[in-house]
Structure 1
Amino acid sequence: MVQYYYWNTVRIIKKGGFDVDHLVPIRTVDDIFPKYRDTPIGRLLQYHNLQSPLDSYEHAEVVIGMCMDNRKHLRIPDNFAYVLRTGGGNLRYSEFKISYAIAVGGVKAIALIGHDKCGMVNLMARKDKFVQGLVDRAGWDKERAEEHFMHFAPMFEIDNEIEFVISEAKRLRSRYPKILVVPMFYGIDDKLLYLINE
């Protein structure tokens, strides 16, 4: 059974052993884990959560992978980050872009940002709405729309927001062992970033 908890207005789905204890609110610089404080991750948290003055950057320092959800917006300086937005923040099909940002852009960190109320959770339950939407709005026939959904939904569906972002961080750490990869969480209601206590 899925249980819902409300903490600082962030809805957390307790499933697979993850609960509110895994989210660390960032209200002061001291709340940022010491290993992240003097890194692009620490600066991201200071810009967004703590409203630190926006510095000037000529080159990006971080890749930010986050969901395409339109309810999420980050407060960061221009040129600070390469931002990749995909369904659920799933970067499995964006690795060439990440590699480019590291090899050519020189970034040293990746921030993976999951969020609550994600549309990629239980995606299969939205099949009929998805298919009908393509029929009504895009002019597709129903069979083509169903095939499209069934081909791509398994690639993008996630079971739990926190579990997914942690597993994606582990996967990317193995791919890019010299790069700092940090799973994070965005609260849709309070618009704040949280660190995840893995």
Structure 2
Amino acid sequence: MKRLIPVQSEEDIFPEYRGTAIGRLIEYHNLNKPYPKYTSAEILIGMCMDNRKSLKIPDNFAFILRSGGGNLRYSEFKVSYAVSIGGVKAIALIAHNHCGMVNLAVKKEAFIDGLVDSGWERDFAVEHFNHFAPLFEIGNEIDFVLSEAARLRNRYPHILIAPLFYKIEDNQLYLVRENNKKEE
């Protein structure tokens, strides 16, 4: 099954996202749709803290939460705030390829050495990695964004939640086909 769906026209956007903040996000970023003025956010975007990703969106259009791997498990109060106080009706979860939160075990020594070089005691750096790496490891990027979308849909059943994917090589957003979606 082809999991990543490129968006090169409005017709490529899944029907459930057309005319919504999710669809507009994709149109702004991929299709260079002109920006209107926004006075309040319409969407919450959860994405990785990776510096290689930058979205093309209008000012005031979105709340953006950045965390390693786009993992919002430890930002749920902020998500709730954006929904309850901010009034957003949509959440876009954006994973990306070549994410540093994938396969953290192979980065363990570099992580520890980097903290030691920054003044940490080696034992504390090892303990820090061993404690937090399992919490922040995301596994496969696509599988993670799909599981995070499912988790948040359970928490916020009246909010439209879309798993998306950002390819570093072309700086484009892709739709992620979920298992319950039929191939066209």
* TM-score (structure 1 length as normaliser): 0.89
Q: Report the 3-state secondary structure (helix = DSSP H, G, I; strand = E; otherwise coil) of the residue aligned with 2:16.
A: helix
Q: Deviations over 1:57-110 (max 9, x none)?
A: 000000000000000000001110000000000000000000000100000000
Q: Determine the C-alpha separation between the residues in 2 that align with 1:118 and 1:35.
A: 28
Match for residue 67 of structure 1?
A: 48
Of the three residues 32, 36, 42, the one matched with 1:51 is 32
**Percent identity for Structure 1 against Structure 2:** 63
Aligned-residue offset at 1:158: 1.5
For structure 2, the 5+ residue unaligned runs are: 179-184
Q: Determine the C-alpha separation between the residues in 2 that align with 1:194 and 1:50.
A: 12
Q: Deviations over 1:159-181 (max 9, x none)?
A: 10000000000000000000001
Of the three residues 22, 40, 57, the one matched with 1:41 is 22
Match for residue 77 of structure 1?
A: 58
Counterpart code for 2:161: V
Q: Deviations over 1:15-55 (max 9, x none)?
A: xxxx6x11110000000011101100000000000011111
Match for residue 14 of structure 1?
A: none
Match for residue 160 of structure 1?
A: 140
Q: Deviations over 1:113-169 (max 9, x none)?
A: 000000111011100000000111x20010011111111100110210000000000
Q: Report the 3-state secondary structure (helix = DSSP H, G, I; strand = E; otherwise coil) of the residue aligned with 2:31.
A: coil
Match for residue 184 of structure 1?
A: 164
Match for residue 3 of structure 1?
A: none
Give structure 1 regions of 4+ aligned residues with deviation exceeding 3 angstroms: none
Counterpart code for 1:139: G
Q: Report the 3-state secondary structure (helix = DSSP H, G, I; strand = E; otherwise coil) of the residue aligned with 2:162.
A: strand
- For the aligned residues, what is the CA RMSD? 0.7
Q: Determine the C-alpha separation between the residues in 2 that align with 1:55 and 1:117.
A: 33
Of the three residues 144, 152, 162, the one matched with 1:172 is 152
For structure 1, the 5+ residue unaligned runs are: 1-18
Q: Report the 3-state secondary structure (helix = DSSP H, G, I; strand = E; otherwise coil) of the residue aligned with 1:36.
A: coil
Match for residue 141 of structure 1?
A: 121
Pairing of 1:5-154 with structure 2 (within 5 A): 21-136=2-117, 138-154=118-134
* TM-score (structure 2 length as normaliser): 0.95
Q: Determine the C-alpha separation between the residues in 2 that align with 1:113 and 1:140.
A: 33
Q: Determine the C-alpha separation between the residues in 1 that align with 2:3 and 2:107.
A: 28
Counterpart code for 1:50: L
Q: Determine the C-alpha separation between the residues in 1 that align with 2:136 and 2:37.
A: 35
Q: Determine the C-alpha separation between the residues in 2 that align with 1:124 and 1:84.
A: 25
